[in-house]
Amino acid sequence: MQAVFSYCSYARDALFSWVQTGPPGPCDKSAPEGETENSQEHRVEKEEFKLIDHNCPTGALSQNPEQDVSGDLREKKQTPQRLRLMLVGKTGSGKSAIGNSILGRDAFESKLSSRPLTQTFQRGSREWAEKEIEVIDTPDFLSPSLSQEVATRGSCEAISFSSPGPHAVLLVTQLGRYTKEDQEVVRRLQEVFGVGILAYTILVFTRKEDLDGGSLDEYVKETDNRELAKLDVLCERRHCGFNNRAQGAEQEAQLEELMMKIEAVLWENEGRRYSNRAYQCAQQSPLSTEVQGRPIFQGRASEEGPSGEDGLEDLRRVQKESEEAHKRLLKGALI
């Protein structure tokens, strides 16, 4: 059995080595000599699917010799001690309320309002089941109505703030209210982070109480909203519901259900957090450094001198290339 695992690990690593091509570093400023625009786009698309894991080496599978043969043949210790979760969704979807429910306290401002309450990227954390859960609340950086300049700044700030990458993305939408605007946010999510981000995405429905005791699984399965049904399939039917007014045992039960979905994401991705060229660039530049808990990108690049400005320009360039490639890739797609 050990020989089989060693062979599979070797074969997989050999395949990755053969498939993955591109520049030696994510922040290289020039394309290889003779590379055409089409080949550059193809290179960018392939690199968007590279998943970098600094805590769990590629191919390192833990094996349990005492495991029952009827169980899983691969026992992988892949749950990191620190889980980074990023909340996304349209304005008013209830991202901040979900974040507060996960953290078990009012860490983010959340109330009914006609304007977006979350103006900056924020984070909060808690200890749960011997893990540290870090929750990142996001402003309206995925709206298709934003100007090009604001959208670019927002996407770069999202990369910088969530670096070195999220373990799971929580796409928040209101039960019974998945609209055209939600669809546009999903498209922007893929443009900003790459189409591979859906492999790390969990659908989180607010207003679970509106089911009146009914099954969320049945609701999603039987919905007449074809776009929502398609998205659920693309997310491997990973979804859960939250009643943000729940307290005590009910609140903990909701978090347990969410953590089960996150465990599934970790299992499917071998414990790796999501990464792409932009995340790699952010880690290599001064932008990954924080000052008083805030990324340098948020108006602090000048404090680092010219190197900070260079790092910002590198990140903008890489992110722009990535978004343009994925816009072409998603052109004509249903979601």
Asked if residue 68 is part of any domain, the answer here is no
Please list the pLDDT of the chain residue by residue as tens digits (335 residues). Answer: 444 444 444 444 544 444 344 444 445 444 444 544 454 444 544 444 443 333 333 333 333 333 333 344 344 455 668 899 999 999 888 999 999 999 999 988 865 544 555 578 999 999 988 899 999 999 989 988 888 888 888 999 999 999 999 999 999 999 999 999 999 999 999 999 999 999 999 999 999 999 998 999 999 999 999 999 999 999 999 999 999 888 899 989 999 999 999 999 999 999 999 999 999 998 886 554 443 344 444 433 333 333 456 678 888 899 999 999 988 888 866 56
How many domains does the structure of the chain reveal? 1
Distances from the Cα of 27 to the Cα of 5, 258, 281, angstroms = 35, 35, 5
> 268: burial class by Cβ within 10 Å (0-12, 13-18, 19+)?
middle
pLDDT, position 146 = 87
**Separation of alpha carbons 291 and 148, rounded Å:** 27
Asked if residue 47 is part of any domain, the answer here is no
Question: What does residue 238 show for φ and ψ, rounded to 5 degrees?
Answer: -90, 105
pLDDT, position 295 = 47
Q: What's at 314, amino acid-wise?
A: D
Asked if residue 55 is part of any domain, the answer here is no
Angle between helical axes of 148-162 and 306-330 (0-180°, round to 10) = 110
Asked if residue 319 is part of any domain, the answer here is no
Asked if residue 190 is part of any domain, the answer here is yes
Asked if residue 2 is part of any domain, the answer here is no
Tokens 């979760």 belong to residue: 85
* 319 in Cβ contact with 278 (< 8 Å): yes
Domain membership of residue 223 as a residue range: 82-279
* Cα 238–Cα 240–Cα 243 angle in degrees, nearest 5: 165
**Separation of alpha carbons 240 and 209, rounded Å:** 12
* Cα 140–Cα 294–Cα 108 angle in degrees, nearest 5: 50
Q: What does the radius of gyration of the chain's CA atoms come to, in whole angstroms?
A: 20
Distances from the Cα of 188 to the Cα of 57, 146, 183, 197, angstroms = 31, 11, 9, 11
Output the domain CATH number for residue 144: 3.40.50.300
Asked if residue 311 is part of any domain, the answer here is no
pLDDT, position 334 = 55
Asked if residue 76 is part of any domain, the answer here is no
